[in-house]
Amino acid sequence: MQRQPERLADESFDVLIVGGGITGAGVALDATLRGWRLALIDKGDFAAGTSSVSSKLVHGGLRYLEHGEFRLVHEALHERRVLLHNAPHLVRPLKFILPFYRGFRLPPWKWRLGLALYDLLAGHDNLRRSRPLPLAALRRAAPSLERADLLGGASYFDAQMDDARLCLAVLRTAARHGAAVANYVEARSFEQQGGQVAGVRAVDRVSGKECSIRARVVVNAAGPWVDAVCRLAGETGGPLLQPTKGAHVIVPNRAGIASAFLLLHPRDGRVFFVIPWLAEVHAGEAPGATKLLIGTTDTFGQEAPDSLTVSPDEVAYLLEGCNRYLQPALAPADVLGSFAGLRPLIRARPGEPSSLSREFHIAVGPSGLISVAGGKYTTYRCMAAAVTDAVENRLGRRHRCRTRDCLLDGAPSQSWEEYWPRAVGALRRRGLPESTARHLVQRYGTNADAVADDLARFPELAAPVMPGEPDLQVEWRYQREHEMAVYPADHLLRRSRLGLYRPEVLNSRL
């Protein structure tokens, strides 16, 4: 996938998508596989907004059962299995421990009931059934847990992902099937024909060149910027979104925690997670994560999506929650990095932010602009199918959705358990160290061979980007040539995650 913004002006398209997060990427792949000529643009990098700053979980949403969102949880649990099959290099099972404490907002019997329902809704797509953890077994499984008022617990499975690279894999798959995609192309105005949107006037923010992009249907999949794009198109309806802000912090995994924890914050009873992150992954479970990801907050966002920061109060809130349950205690000085994003949730009933629905809404404006608000990362494929159906309603022809069994870019055709040792062994036979081979296969899947080819041609790029980190300089070359990385932040925040916990490197020029 190479950056070719000239295609946007040279061709006419059936569909133009504004927004290169997971929603836009999913629609791009779905519509392209159905045979439509498609273009996608984003004013920044792909996944630069919410789609790279999630909690990195592919999950059914156990906590959504409390709000009665059974259909959403059922759909998400089945989509979890689809993603594990279609992108096993980027989505992997993750064990969770749910401890029960005296004084919890929810008593143990409600958690047990919720887990039984979670298993039931997952059906044949369940990863493993939840299991009770008596007090003695829980203390053995999680010795770092605070013991005071601990009653016992349970374990269950969800999955963990590399969110930014998963979005990129969806886009690369769409591009492989003919979609024209370009980052750093900003829609500046809408062009209309007969009162209906017929494309956009855009500028390439890399070269400064302007162009007109013609399309029969335009989809607004701009995430937190959806309402801004509606205004740009002249839509006069009220706002579609009520964004909420989610902040996370990254800390060292000094206790060697191997399982994620679902916990209730002692201050307000909200669910938050402590998740082992950046583990060296083998075919199965992956203990040995070097970092912990703690999150997330859930507050009404007052900041613009282009200028989000994590405040000292948000850091203190997350550390307070973690320190209530896990040892050793963490201080602000222990925080390696932090990030925040806005969830583009649909404006609905008033109330606490955590009660807002993760459902999505498709709106067709008077100008014909199709806008999508809300949604949940795990169910992006279902959301994309519904949006593409709405697109086809306007185009006047329907095709079958083909994404359910579509392996994403980098996914092997055989099971990950079979592929992993063979791929690592093949790279070892090419002379790569064991740690390098594992790192490349884990990040790039079947494309690890192409990175190794670059390494053979440019052996001077074999050095790490930073001492002590697995990222190699040759990866930056591959990412520029094949993954549309343009600026250092594209490499450091989305093609890799190095900039999230080594923020000092963001000022470097690589």
At 355, is the pLDDT very low, low, confident or very high (cuts 50, 70, 90)?
A: very low
The pLDDT value given to residue 288: 61
| Three-class SS of 397-425 | CCCCCCCCCCCCCCCCCCCHHHHHHHHHH
Matching residue, tokens 């791009």: 28
Alpha carbon distances (Å) from 145 to 41, 168, 261, 278, 370: 46, 37, 10, 21, 48
Three-state DSSP at 45 gives coil
Rounded average pLDDT over 169-184: 98
Angle value at C-alpha 319, between 317 and 322, nearest 5 degrees: 110
Q: Looking at the chain, which residues constitute the CATH 1.10.8 domain(s)?
A: 416-507
Q: Tokens in use for 279?
A: 């583990």
DSSP bridge pairs for 245: 299, 342
Predicted local confidence at residue 283, as pLDDT: 43
First-to-last alpha carbon distance for the chain, in angstroms, is 21
SS3 217: strand
> Is residue 468 over pLDDT 70?
yes
The first and second tokens of residue 484, run together, are 């549309």
- CA-wise closest residue to 68 among 377, 355, 381: 355
- The continuous run of DSSP H or E covering 170 comes out as helix 163-176
- What gap in Å lies between CA 196 and CA 368, rounded to an integer? 6
Look at residue 172 and tell me whether its pLDDT is greater than 50: yes
In b/e form, how buried is each residue of 12-48, taking b as 16+ CB within 10 angstroms? ebbbbbbbbbbbbbbbbbbbbbbebbbbbbbbbbbbb
| Residues 361-411: tens digit of each pLDDT | 999 999 999 999 998 999 999 999 999 999 999 999 999 999 999 999 999
pLDDT given for residue 359 in this prediction: 83
Whole-number Å distance between alpha carbons of 372 and 23 = 8
- Going by the DSSP 8-state scheme, the letter that residue 491 receives in this structure is I
pLDDT of residue 352 exceeding 50: no
Write out the residue limits of the CATH 3.30.9.10 domain(s) in the chain.
94-160+243-347
Tell me how far apart the alpha carbons of residues 181 and 163 are, in angstroms, rounded to a whole number.
Answer: 19
Question: Rounded CA gap, 279 and 299, in Å?
Answer: 30
Residue 134, both tokens: 């008596």
pLDDT single digits (tens) 282-338: 444 444 688 999 999 988 867 888 889 999 999 999 999 999 999 999 999 999 999
Q: Which CATH architecture has domain 94-160+243-347?
A: 2-Layer Sandwich (3.30)
Q: Looking at the predicted structure, is the pLDDT value of residue 279 above 80?
A: no
Between the alpha carbon of residue 443 and those of residues 162, 252, 281, 470, 500, the distances in Å are 9, 21, 10, 11, 16
| CA geometry: angle 234, 19, 411, nearest 5 deg | 160
Q: What are phi and psi of 344, to 5 degrees?
A: -80, 65
> Residue 207: pLDDT above 60?
yes
What is the pLDDT at residue 238? 80
Query: In the predicted model, is pLDDT for residue 499 greater than 60?
Result: yes
Residue 396 token pair: 């006047």
71 pLDDT higher than 50: yes
Identify the band that residue 77 occupies on the pLDDT scale cut at 50, 70 and 90: very high
| Over residues 493-509, mean pLDDT | 85
What pLDDT is recorded for position 34?
98
Map residue 437 onto helix, strand or coil.
Answer: helix
Would you state the pLDDT for residue 286? 44
pLDDT band, very low/low/confident/very high, at 504 (cuts 50, 70, 90): confident
Residue 351's pLDDT is: 46
Predicted confidence (pLDDT) at residue 50 exceeds the cutoff of 70? yes
Kindly report which listed range (28-42, 78-92, 204-218, 270-284) carries the lowest average pLDDT score. Answer: 270-284
pLDDT (0 to 100) of residue 300: 85
* Three-class DSSP category at 3: coil
Share of the chain above pLDDT 70, in %: 95
**Nearest-CA neighbor of 422 among 441, 435, 409, 439?**
441
Phi, psi of 98 (to 5 degrees): -115, 100
Model pTM?
0.95
User: Quick one: how far is CA 194 from the chain centroid?
Assistant: 38
Question: CATH 3.50.50.60 in the chain, residues?
Answer: 6-50+165-241+356-395
Task: Give bridge partners of residue 133 from the DSSP assignment.
Answer: 153
CA 50 to each of CA 345, 471, 485: distance values in angstroms, whole numbers, following the listed order:
11, 24, 18
Measure Cα distances from 131 to 105, 116, 137, 146, 284 in Å: 21, 9, 11, 21, 19
User: What is the CB neighbour count within 10 angstroms for residue 352?
Assistant: 12
**What's the topology of domain 416-507?**
Helicase, Ruva Protein; domain 3 (1.10.8)
Q: Are 496 and 442 in contact (CB under 8 A)?
A: no
Q: Which stretch of 30-39, 243-252, 345-354 has the lowest confidence by average pLDDT?
A: 345-354
Quote the tokens at residue 488: 């250092």
Cα pseudo-dihedral 26, 75, 84, 38, rounded to 10 = -10
Q: What average pLDDT does the segment 163-188 reach?
A: 98
CA dihedral (99, 103, 105, 109) positive or negative: positive
pLDDT range class, residue 506, cuts 50, 70, 90: confident
- What whole-number distance in Å separates Cα of residue 163 and Cα of residue 160? 9
* pLDDT at residue number 453: 98
Q: Is the pLDDT of residue 509 over 60?
A: no
By percentage, how much of the chain surpasses pLDDT 90?
85
pLDDT class for 345, splitting at 50, 70, 90? confident
- Residue with the larger pLDDT of the pair 281 and 366: 366
Class of domain 6-50+165-241+356-395 (CATH, top level): alpha beta
Average pLDDT of the chain, as a whole number? 93
Phi-psi category of residue 330: left, alpha or beta, with phi > 0 → left and psi -120 to 50 → alpha = beta
Pairing outcome for strands 91-101 and 150-161: antiparallel
Which residue would you say has higher pLDDT here, 176 or 239?
176
Q: Is the pLDDT of residue 353 over 60?
A: no
CB 181 within 8 A of CB 39: yes
Confidence at residue 318, expressed as pLDDT on a 0 to 100 scale: 98
